[in-house]
Structure 1
Amino acid sequence: MNCEQIKQSVSIRVVLESYGLFPVKENKRTAFYFALDREEKTASLSVDFIKNTAFDFGTGKSYDIISIVQTKNKCDVSTALEYLSKFDFSNSTNDNIEASEELEYTILKIVDICHPALLDYLKSRKVLGCKDLVKEIHYRIKGRYYFGLAFHNNSGGIEVRNKYSKICLGPKDISLIKSTNEHNSELAVFEGFFDYLSYRTIEKEISSSDIDYLVLNSTSMLFHAEEIIREYKKISLFLDNDISGKITGEKILQINKNVENCSLFYQDYKDLNSWLIR
């Protein structure tokens, strides 16, 4: 993989998060961050999540993910590439995949899952027993027809997954799933819905507990969940065992001190689903 390919293989958002940098102001495509190389009161670093680049209005410098690492680590390109190699290139794809709300799309139908390819996909991830927690969606983008698993978020957006793609139709947001008990004191937090399905699969094999579930759908959506996290007496974290998961866990601990890091249970695996399909 050459430098140009690497520049588009890891989300700039995830790279910035690895340094504890989060948006000060954000919209669908862009966000403002504080500068990489100085302290400032007004955020001047404009980040374009679609192009995976940044521009500092204070200095006039442009950045990609390699030059961001060079600036923060004060290193050469080779060392920056070594730092970026710690990220999961297969899953940390560019935020283009999560920006489909800016595309023209048409939802054709949403039904109970019956397509053999989707059933096989759920089976391969060992969560077929929880197929009732997701739906089957058929949609069209730029005249092309697609289908996948559908998982709704709190803003009416739909997280869509299949074996080959990962997108969000409509606004990106968290998904809060409340149990039948209205007064639960525990909240289980997941990054993506496959980890949520994995937990529910495991939960069926033991005793079902009265807890609520929060799927971030992206660690960048944590700011949408802060008030929710404050409401619970106990937070159980099932985050990924990577840099972004660690940073997100630390930020949640700042919001609510009653946190249990359950990722230690699958510490030798990337995430809960990877442990389940081991």
Structure 2
Amino acid sequence: MNCEEAKQKIMIRDVLEHYNLFPTKENRKTAFYFALDRDEKTPSLSVDFIKNRAFDFGTGKSYDVISIVQQINQCSVSDALKYLEKFEFSSSDKKQNLVADDEMQYKILNIKDIQHFALIDYLESRKVSAQMHLVKEVHYQMNGKKNFGLGFFNDSGGVEIRNKYSKICLGKKDVTLIKNQKNTFNEIAVFEGFFDFLTFQNISKEPHLDFLILNSTSMLFKVEEELKKYRKISLFLDNDANGKLFNSKIANQYNNVEDCSHIYLGYKDLNEWYCRD
């Protein structure tokens, strides 16, 4: 794969989502994200889905899929191309859908307790089947195709959908804040995704915590004021570059932070560590 093929075949949205970066606002053609190279309160990275390019109004930098990977991974063009080989190419069909649709077309068909054997098997493979009461079985139709997965709801009514083959959000992206009436802002545990939250429920001896599932580290800005209310913030973020970046960001912003990633040192996240045997 050469540079031109990568720019034509790989969508910028897919690359950003791979890094857990999601838009703060969007329409059918464009969206705004937080900058790739700095912390900011107001998102300044404008992404044009039709042209498959991004522009940072704060620095004047222009990005394509290759330079985005270079910026985030701090690597050469050749290394960025190697990294992009892992993406499943969708040719130009995805671009045409973006032009034709006002937004991603989906419809939730049914929400129920977990019953399907494939979802039960998936929960068992992640060793969190004991917590299946905390998620739902969601059947939906998207772009004319029916599918189903585990559903975990966020605070804006959006649904994080997971199954063995997909990782998407139906509706608006947001955090999930779960409050315990007995806690009264003493301590909160923070997770990137809901599988780590489910894993924590398996092993926790602290039943009276509040819980914050970011569903993407890019959603942190939504709860920055809320976190100030807590006496202690326990972080269970991923052991990767993005997780470490946000660990540092939160630790610098608050005085009451404990980084718990040492528990699963050498593993990507809490769930991977829990499934190690």
TM (norm. structure 2) is 0.77
User: Counterpart of 2:66 in 1: which secondary structure?
Assistant: helix
- Once the two structures are overlaid, the 10-residue window that deviates more, 208-217 or 64-73, is 64-73
Matched, 1:240 2:238: yes
1:152 and 2:153 correspond: yes
The one-letter amino acid of 1:228's match is: E
1:110-259 matches, within 5 Å, as: 110-203=111-204, 207-259=205-257
How far does residue 104 in structure 1 lie from its aligned partner after superposition?
1.8
- Paired residues in the alignment total 253
Distance in 2 separating the partners of 1:64 and 1:216: 27
Find the aligned partners of 1:250 and 1:170 in 2 and give their Cα distance: 30
Query: Per-residue deviation at 1:256?
Result: 1.6
Contact 1:7 1:66 in 2 (8 A): no
Tell me, in whole angstroms, the C-alpha distance in 2 between the residues paired with 1:59 and 1:179.
43
- Counterpart code for 2:249: K
Q: Which residue does the alignment assign to 1:63?
A: 63
Q: TM-score, normalised by structure 1?
A: 0.77
Q: Distance in 1 between matches of 2:183 and 2:233?
A: 16
Alpha-carbon distance in structure 2 between the residues aligned to 1:119 and 1:101: 35
Confirm whether residue 274 of structure 1 aligns to residue 261 of structure 2.
no
- SS across alignment from 2:174: coil
Unaligned segments of structure 1, at least 5 residues:
37-41, 91-95
Kindly, what percent of the aligned residue pairs are identical?
53
Residues 32 and 44 in structure 1, CA contact (< 8 A), matched pair in contact too:
yes
Q: Which residue of 1 aligns with 2:90?
A: none
Residue matched to 1:78: 78
1:2–1:110 distance in 2 versus 1, CA, 3 Å: farther
**Partner SS state of residue 257, structure 1:** coil
Report SS of the residue matched to 2:110.
strand
The root-mean-square deviation of aligned C-alpha atoms, in Å, is 3.7
How far is the alpha carbon of 1:62 from its aligned partner? 4.0
Deviates more, 1:63-72 or 1:2-11: 2-11
Q: AA paired with 1:161? A: R
